[in-house]
Chains A and B, each alone.
Chain A
Amino acid sequence: MEIIVCVKRVPLTQEVDLEINPQKTDIRRDMLAYSINEWDNYAVEEAIVLKEKHGGNVVAVTVGTEEDEEVLRRSLAMGADKAIRVDPGNLLPDSFGIAKILAQVIRGMPHDVVLTGVQADDLNEGSVGTMLAELLDLAHAAVVTGVTAEGEEATVRVELEGGVEEVSRIKLPALLCIQTGINEPRYVSIMGIRKAAKKELNVVKIEDLSLSRNDLSPMTTVEELFLPPETEGAQFLEGDPATVAEEILRILKEKGVKK
């Protein structure tokens, strides 16, 4: 089974006061730490699980700068066989552009299953996967929480609202957008990443993909980023933990919560 998994490196934004750049088109990134997109981590694990079961190869692909190779090395350490980074140069493609670039790369490679995350932590657009499926003319499923491949087909579980799952049969080759919780992503050690440095990591330049400017012209553009409007929001309980605890218990009583 030939498996391709698409990954993205995203900034960690918890417990950080995000600042907006002067042009108001992006956040200030200089102080942020990065990691693999949570959904993609599950997608890489699923790719490795499929390979362990059915044999074949896993290729991890990202569109990004040299720094983004970190998530490819991590994927290689998890068990991917090969990695590809597409360098977009000075282009800043939107999700449509990313899907086009990925499609162009993947078209030339054997693929039975293409995996992406459901969405990325940063912009939560959730559209690259299914756009890519359409560009590659692949059957697809979004929000996948289970995959069992058998022959030319697979049974997939798709997560809907309220704990309901939709079971369906899908023809291979297919693209699946992987949801968190589908598996338990394996631990990656520094040693593991060091060892994986021997594995093949190829860089493809965007100019070599025979895509025109028009192909990559964005469908949407960010006009302005802004901070959430100050709403009334929470009334903050101040003081040391004991005082706060006292206050919480008082609120419970007031709201009629019986012990």
Chain B
Amino acid sequence: MSEIFVVVEHRNGEIREITYQLLWKADELCRKGSHTLTAVVLCGEKENFISEINDRADRVILFEDERIKNFNGDLYKELLVRLIQEHKPILTLIGHTPWGMDYAPSISIKTGYPLATDCVDVIFENGRPKVVRQIYAGKIFSRVAFKDSEGYLITVRSGAFSIDKAGEHKGEVIKKDIPPDLPTARREFVAFEDAGAGAIDITQADLLVSIGRGVGEADKVPAMQELANLMGGVLSCSRPVVDKNWLPKYHQVGTSGKSVKPKVYLAFGISGAFQHVAGISGAGCVIAVNKDKKAPIFRVADFGVVDDLFKVAEALKAKLA
């Protein structure tokens, strides 16, 4: 019997959804393995969100300090490494988010605990965790084992687990002092900026005609815009389309773009990376057009068309003209 740690992710006074997913999985692992669940919170003074997690963990370890009001990778690392060395939790679960990606590998190096990242499932076998990961853009799954260790670190893909509350817990809140010798951070937070706002709001559309890298070149974008207009829809896209400056950022669907909830999402030449499909979980119906019948998007789509996207687009235009 040991402890499972969940590191709580929050921003601007709100718990991030990934935290609930980590707690849900940790609860399941705790019940199966008779471990206890500890949520670790690093935050500024007097945050209100503790009440939203303490009924999901057996205890909440709380570090409160204005220096960690906003995420700081250097200070998270320092505080978590010391806490892990003190408690020796069998498992520490962290979100595979931009922040989790920032400090989980550092903690692994500092503690010597092995790390597996971007995991979509976690089980225990003979007291040791094993994980499932998706590789090669989701075309292959991989079961990964760890070398023997006192404790293990796992970052979890967002959306892999439920956000529901599973077991009942009475989280006792334990306040921890910030060690006086906490070093100064080498990186300091300045501000959050919204880079995603713009002229068009893709989150309100009933029909999104969405294009991916499969459109091939900037010159092909106007024809797809025309199709969206003819269909009475709004044009959206995957990330590479924005990276290549074919469309502005406010068209982008996905974790680093927008989450959308159209009645129909019509995807042309999008492979279905998890960062993309995470943004369309609210769509009523997904229709995907892709040349590759093994493209992972077909695993989440309701309807699929295996064909050249331009042929289908032209045929649609012909019907609507």
Question: Is B299 in contact with A256, judged by CB distance below 8 angstroms?
Answer: no
Closest to B304 in A: A234
A221 touches B305 (CB 8 A): no
Interface residues of A (CB under 8 A from B): 11, 13-18, 20, 27, 96, 99, 118, 121-131, 133-135, 139-143, 145, 155-171, 174, 177, 180-181, 184, 217-229, 231, 233-237, 240-242, 244-249, 251-252, 255-259
Per-residue 0/1 for B134-159: is the Cβ within 8 Å of any A Cβ (1 yes, 0 no)? 11111111111111000000000000
A27, A129, A242, A245 — which one has the most chain B CB atoms within 10 A of its CB? A245
Q: Is the CB–CB distance between A245 and B304 below 8 Å?
A: no
Query: Which 10 A-B residue pairings sit nearest by Cβ, starting from the closest?
Result: A163-B196, A234-B304, A181-B243, A219-B114, A139-B186, A241-B315, A245-B315, A130-B105, A134-B109, A259-B232
Please classify how large the interface on chain B is, using the bins under 10, 10 to 19, 20 to 34, 35 or more: 35 or more
Q: Interface residues, chain B, CB within 8 Å of chain A?
A: 11, 71, 73-74, 96-99, 101-106, 108-110, 114-118, 130, 133-147, 186-197, 206-207, 231-233, 239-240, 242-245, 249-250, 252, 255-259, 263-264, 266, 271, 284-288, 291-292, 294-296, 298-299, 301-307, 311-312, 314-316, 318-320
Query: Which of B109, B137, B196 lies in contact with A164, CB distance below 8 A?
Result: B196
A246, B271: Cα distance in complex, Å: 24
Interface contact A160-B98, CB-CB below 8 Å: yes
The complex places the Cα of A166 from the Cα of B266 at a distance, in Å, of 32
Contacts of B257 in A (CB 8 A): 162-163
Task: Give every chain B residue within 8 A of A244 (Cβ-Cβ).
Answer: 305, 307, 312, 315
**CB-contact partner of A162 in B189, B196, B286, under 8 A:** B196
CB–CB B106/A245 < 8 A? no
Contact of B117 among A125, A165, A174, A225 (CB under 8 A): A125
How far in angstroms is the closest Cβ of chain B from A228? Answer: 6
A13 touches B303 (CB 8 A): no
A135 to B131, CA, bound (A): 25
B116 and A220 contact, CB distance less than 8 A: yes
